[in-house]
Each structure stands twice: as C-alpha cells, then as structure tokens.
Amino acid sequence: MNDPYFDLLMWARGPGFTIALVVLAGGIILRLTEILFLGRKTDLAPAKGNAVVAGLKTIFTRSVPREGLVKFSPVTYIGGYVFHIAFFIAFLLFGPHIALIKSVIGLSWPDAGRVIIESAAVIALVAMLALLYSRITDPVRRSISGFQDYLVWVLTVLPLITGYIAVNKLIGDGTLMMALHILSAEMLMIAFPFTKLMHAVTFITSRYYNGAIQGRKGAES
C-alpha cells in the first residue's frame, strides 16, 4: 500500500529534482558559453577611457534607477524592487531552503523566522500582482508583452503560493502541497535558462556590455 501524495513528493525530491537541476545547470552553462564564445571584435583603435572599469561599474550602478524614472513608472520600479527583495528573503532565508542549498553547494547561513518568511512571500505576491496589473492595463506594456511574459509570471508566483499553502496547510493535504511546491520550483528551474528568467544571470553580461560601450571613448575600429 502506498500513499500517492508521498510518492509524488518522493518523485519531486528524486527524479524530478535531478531532471530540473540537469536542465537548469546545463541550460545556464550552454547559454553563457554561447554568449562568451561569441566574443567581441578585437579593438584595433585604442581609445581613451577604460571600457572594462566602466563595464564593471555599470553592473552595479544599473541597479539604481535613473533620475525621474521612478516617478515616470512607479509600479514597474517599486514593484520590481519590492518583488526581488521579498522573493530573495523568502527563498534564501527559510530554513528548509537553506538545508537544500547546503546539500547542493555546501554553503549555509542563519535562518529567519516564519513571520519574516511568510510576510516576504505575501509582499512578493502582492508586488507580482501589481506588476501584472500594470502590464495588462498599460497599453504600451500590454502590446510588448507576449506569452512568455505571462508564463514566466505564473511560474514565478506558483512556488510562492504553493509554499505559503504548504507551510500553513491552508488547503489540501500537507504532503501533497509540499510535493506541488517542490514541483512548481522545479518547473521554474526548467524554464529558467530558456526564458527571460535568465536575466538573473545575463544581467551581468548585458550591463557590462552596455557600460563598456559607454566607457570607451574613441572611434570604433
């Protein structure tokens, strides 16, 4: 006799995780290798200014919005900041997640209590709803949004919702909700390298490239 919910949890912890990790790790490396191997043309006309320093600087400075843009697009900027900070608090400071990270890469850090974790999860969810509302109601954003944007939105909020339900046992069987939470995170892992979620890695290269262009003072060879 087996418990189907527990079997699903064991599948999510076993083959499900392996599949998701293989796609995530292999996919990220594939995308990064491709970007880095494409390289840049040799600079035949040495210019003034230091493109490398400007590039590295821009990786960090672009985290701060340009003057006036917060007022111009408050939901995108504030919602974006709030979501990212709250999401990382819920993801990185929850004890069971830290145990997972420790088992995979060997690093660990102190845990936060459930009040902080659950508040962060709710705040992240509210921010995501605000961002979705803005995306749907703003004509420009709506017209530049495609299927992938909405897919990524769903894949991002699912772990937050299922995690909250699993910890608080709001609906359904606790074991089933835990399994669904892990599966939803695994779906996010699988989609990560091949969707806009990849920005979590490629923001470094893209910001560097933009910064390097701005930092180079001279004629293009």
Partner 1 sequence: MTDKPMLPDLMRAHGISRRGFLKYCASLTSLMALSPAMMPKVAYALENAPRPSVIWLSFQECTGCTESLTRSHAPTIEDLIFNAVSLDYHHTLQAASGHQAEAARTEAMQANYGKYLLVVDGSIPIGDEGYSCIAGVSNLQMLKETAAGAAAIVAVGTCAAYGGIPHANPNPTGAVSVSDIIKDKPIINVPGCPPIPVVMTGVLAHFLTFGIPELDVLNRPKAFYGETIHDRCYRRPFYDKGLFAEGFDDEGAREGWCLYKMGCKGPTTRSVCATVKWNDGTSFPIQSGHPCLGCTEPNFWDNGGFYKPLSVPAGDYRKAALEAIAVGVVAGAAGAGLARANKSRAAKAHEKVDAHDLERKS
Residues at the contact surface with partner 1, assessed by CB under 8 A: 1-3, 6, 9-10, 13-15, 17-18, 21-23, 25-38, 93-97, 99-100, 103-104, 110-117, 169, 174-175, 178, 182
Of 1, 38, 16, the C-alpha closest to 178 is 16
Q: How far is the CB of 39 from partner 1 (least distance, A)?
A: 8
Q: How far is the CB of 135 from partner 1 (least distance, A)?
A: 31
Joined together, the tokens standing for residue 39 give 């390289």
Q: How far is the CB of 129 from partner 1 (least distance, A)?
A: 26
Q: How far is the CB of 120 from partner 1 (least distance, A)?
A: 12
On the CB side of 173, CA atoms within 13 Å amount to 10
147 burial (CB, 10 Å; 0-12 / 13-18 / 19+) is exposed
Beta bridge partners, 217, equal 48
Instruction: Give the separation between CA 27 and CA 190, rounded to whole angstroms.
Output: 8
Place of tokens 């299927």: 147
180 or 182: whose CB is closer to partner 1? 182
Range 102-111, long-range pairs (CB < 8 A, 24+ positions): 104/21
15 or 218: whose CB is closer to partner 1? 15
108 or 137: whose CB is closer to partner 1? 108
Opening angle at CA 118, ends 114 and 122, nearest 5: 170
54 or 167: whose CB is closer to partner 1? 167
Of 208, 181, 126, the C-alpha closest to 12 is 181
Of 221, 175, 207, 198, the C-alpha closest to 32 is 198
Q: How far is the CB of 41 from partner 1 (least distance, A)?
A: 11
47 or 92: whose CB is closer to partner 1? 92
Beta bridge partners, 48, equal 217
Q: How far is the CB of 47 from partner 1 (least distance, A)?
A: 24
172 or 218: whose CB is closer to partner 1? 172
